Amino acid sequence: MGQGRDPAVAEVREVRTVARRLDGSGSRPNKCLRGRGKYLNGVVSDRGAWNRLLHDALAAIQGGTLSKVVIARSVDLEGLQAFDVEQVFDSLRRIAPGSTAFLIRGTDGTAFVGASPELLCRCDGSLLETEALAGSASQANAAVLLQSDKENREHRCVVDGISSALGPFSEAVSIEGSPTLLGVPHLVHLRTPIRARLKEGSRISQVLAALHPTPAVGGTPKERALSFLAEHENLDRGWYGGAVGWVGEHSMELVVALRSALLRANRARLFVGAGIVEGSTEEGEWEETEAKGLTIREALSGGGSDALP
């Protein structure tokens, strides 16, 4: 028999190659912060740097360069003893049962762990499902989230960005009419399911490369937002915001690596971010990122909020 190349196997390999490129360092070649700052028992995060980054983002938006950009920051924690990564993973599954918990072990003794509420892409043959997940409020303010002009503008950027990315590869794209509320620990998000029927000949790897990073983790316009982050964010996102999941011959399911931390021995680096649009404020975006970090902090402390550092 000939040694012909199996197209299905080749496509799976290409999807995996694309997925490996969809981590933070591949999407945003930013300067690494490792080694900067001092680890303490407690929390280390530079609010001054965050405020400067937010003002740079708002200036770009007000100047018409961007409509939205998602900025991120890291939070460094030091435990009293080495973190048990499997215990952290189990705690995340219990704390956030509606999210997808993940654990990736590095070859250098690190572990990347998190619980993502956001589906990046689910494919079964020609049928594709994804979602716009953007716009946030505390659980106490959930009732007003659907009416918030600022949060709905942020959400619409993601809906439009995903629809535009899928268009060239799809026979049809279906978007549910109005966003609904998705409750996760400590927060509520606006969510809009999106479905597409892929054109014959469309390759999942191409769709994935066009789709990610969505405006929920990058911004819009996409290339301008990524250029802004590369120039201003000054953060090595690593796996944060990348694609995590599984890939088969005719199907796959990937989530966005959010609500996550990089662990090594007794040190943890958490990653949190917020979508910036016109109307974003220092206090509001800081509080949103603080809330987004609570789930992983609870898991690191053994699952109880009373034990948070």
Amino acid 261 reads: A
Q: How far apart are CA 193 and CA 132, in angstroms?
A: 6
**Three-class SS state of 306:** helix
Q: Which residues are catalytic?
A: 68, 118
Three-state DSSP class for 170?
Answer: strand
Element (H, E) at 284: helix 282-300
257 within 8 A of 20, measured Cβ to Cβ:
no
Token duo for residue 298: 């609870």
Tell me the C-alpha distance between 132 and 160, whole Å: 9
Tokens coding 245: 């999941």
Yes or no: say if 220 and 161 are a contact pair by the CB < 8 Å rule: yes
φ, ψ of residue 127 to 5 degrees: the values are -90, 130
What tokens were used for 158? 């993601």
**Angstrom distances, CA of residue 246 to CA of 12, 100, 122, 149, 277:** 10, 12, 10, 36, 33
Establish how many alpha carbons lie within 13 A of residue 159's alpha carbon, considering only the half-sphere containing its beta carbon: 19
Q: How far is CA 128 from CA 14, 97, 170, 198, in A?
A: 18, 24, 9, 7
